[in-house]
Amino acid sequence: MAVQYNYPPEITGKRKLYSLVNGVKDPLGVINGNHAIAGDSYHLRTAITNKHFIFSQDKEFIEYILKQNHKNYFKSEIQSVTLGKYLGNGLLTNNGKDWLKQRRLIQPGFSKVKITNLVSIMEEEIDKAFLSFNNETEIDLYEFFHTLAFNIVAKTLFSSDIDEEKVKELGKIITEIQEIFAKEVRIPFYTQALNILGITDKNIRKSKQAKHIIQGVLDKRKNSKLEKNDLLDMLIHAKYEDTQLPMSDEQLVDEMLILFIAGHETTANALTFILFEISQNPEAEKKLKEEIAIEDENVFTAESLMKKSFTINVIKEAMRLHSPAWAIDRQALEDDSFKEFSWKKGTLIILYISGLHRNPKYWEQPNAFLPERFDSENAKNFAYYPFGAGPRLCIGEHFAMMEMALIIRKFYKNYSFISYQKELQKKALVTLRAVSLKGKIIKNQL
């Protein structure tokens, strides 16, 4: 007798067709609309491939998948296979025992002690980037922050100089790969069309070029024989517990590529959203500048940057409203159930973090920018997961928070930003990003 499953409410008919057609260009709008119709969890089934998807912005459901029963869930084939063919088998795309082995090798490089030692290197890169600002500077902050964040990753994690042309080339490759990846995931049979047209092969060649650039960084380090005591040194010399062998060059390059992408992409996107929100909220900017003045000579110390503060509240609130990691995907290894719902092995689970972060069930004034809400003693229990949760919590969370706090304080100590935009046009690829953030930087009057 066939097992009967009790999936959440299903999206069918015209709404299903609408979701498939518009899910490519406006996934957030489509998913928000479906949740408005069906509730905090809904089910979508593809007719031809017969794949089952559950989308959820329910806090308890999300915690069940990421924490309580995480062992029954792998990164879905969306990332492990589709994205993996472009980016390799690094922490972002790997699964199971291989992922755990890599995580254990890399984790020590992101300890709080290691991170606090990086402040001076970050400061140097930030100060150098800010030298381009005059009394009034017109700028696209989205572009600016991507270059700055990339340079910070290169210097802090790998002590490496990559010229600006290589930075731009890598950024261009990453964007193009993400564009194709997003369409592969959202359009039925798009993968077959890409294969026939040769676009998949072209994209794989681009990813090989990105890896070639990263290999150049690795070769430069190995040939130099220098010990720099950074993450790259640690990765080169780290050995697996079971074999006592180091990582192959191929695995090293995959991990470095993932760290370059994850280490700069989400941070640059978040910084763009943060400065946009501050530009729309003069009271928040005033309070931020007051805090910077009060902190005085301690303002850029690791201790001050990492402690609870209004600066941190501003970062958290902007990342709530605009979550760079806007969705998390998982795939069920076995049949499972939660409360009244049950689903079969192979079901794809899309945990909709952007929806969770604006869900009125958990947030008062969910669309308002209110950094003070994170002063609450209950803040640790908020429906808030910008870095994920459970064993696969983002390895670079502390690194990213300290970097963003440092950049924001250095900027607002000396400058203000006037946005030309009252609304942000956003694009949801692997990460959520702004299309641009154009405006004017004004130097503070002494």
C-beta neighbour count of 325 within 10 angstroms:
21
Going by their DSSP bridges, the two strands 52-56 and 348-352 should be labelled as parallel
Strands of 150-219 (E only): list them.
none
- Enter the DSSP assignment of 246: B
Q: Has residue 116 been placed in a domain?
A: yes
Alpha carbon distance 186, 178 (integer Å): 12
Give yes or no for a contact between 28 and 322, defined as CB atoms under 8 angstroms apart. no
DSSP bridge pairs for 441:
137, 417
User: If 0-12 CB within 10 Å is exposed, 13-18 middle and 19+ buried, where does residue 30 land?
Assistant: buried
Q: Has residue 2 been placed in a domain?
A: no
Token pair, residue 88, equals 């390799």
Alpha carbon distance 2, 437 (integer Å): 54
- Annotated binding-site residues for heme read 394
Instruction: Collect all residues with Cβ–Cβ distance below 8 Å to 377 and sequence separation of at least 6.
Output: none
Q: Per-residue confidence of the chain (446 residues) as pLDDT tens digits?
A: 567 999 999 999 999 989 888 887 899 999 999 999 999 999 999 877 788 999 999 999 999 999 999 999 988 766 656 666 666 676 676 777 777 778 887 887 788 888 888 898 899 999 999 999 988 999 999 999 988 998 888 888 777 766 667 767 777 787 777 677 666 655 555 566 666 767 777 878 888 888 888 888 888 888 887 777 777 887 888 777 777 788 888 888 888 888 877 778 899 999 999 999 999 999 999 999 999 999 999 999 999 999 999 999 999 999 999 999 999 999 999 999 999 999 999 999 999 999 999 999 999 999 999 999 999 999 999 999 999 999 888 888 999 999 999 999 999 999 999 999 999 999 888 789 999 999 999 998 76
CA 194-197-198 angle, 5° bins: 80
Dihedral-angle region of residue 112 (phi above 0 means left; psi in -120 to 50 means alpha; beta otherwise): alpha
Q: Has residue 255 been placed in a domain?
A: yes
Q: Has residue 251 been placed in a domain?
A: yes
Please report which helix (H) or strand (E) contains residue 223, including its range: helix 199-224
Q: Has residue 148 been placed in a domain?
A: yes
Alpha helix stretches (DSSP H) within 281-379: 282-295, 302-306, 310-321, 353-357
DSSP bridge pairs for 439:
139, 419
- Annotated binding-site residues read 394
Give the pLDDT score at 182: 64
Instruction: Collect all residues with Cβ–Cβ distance below 8 Å to 414 and sequence separation of at least 6.
Output: 130, 443, 444
Instruction: Collect all residues with Cβ–Cβ distance below 8 Å to 157 and sequence separation of at least 6.
Output: 109, 230, 231, 232, 259, 263
Domain enclosing residue 286, as ranges: 13-443
Q: What DSSP assignment string belongs to 12-46?
A: -HHHHHHHHHHTTT-HHHHHHHHHHHH-SEEEEE-
Q: Has residue 6 been placed in a domain?
A: no
Alpha carbon distance 339, 331 (integer Å): 18
Domains held by the chain: number: 1
For the four alpha carbons of 55, 57, 60 and 62, in that order, the dihedral sign comes to positive
Q: Is the pTM of this model over 0.75?
A: yes
Q: Has residue 176 been placed in a domain?
A: yes
Q: Has residue 5 been placed in a domain?
A: no
Q: What is the CATH number of the domain that holds 226?
A: 1.10.630.10
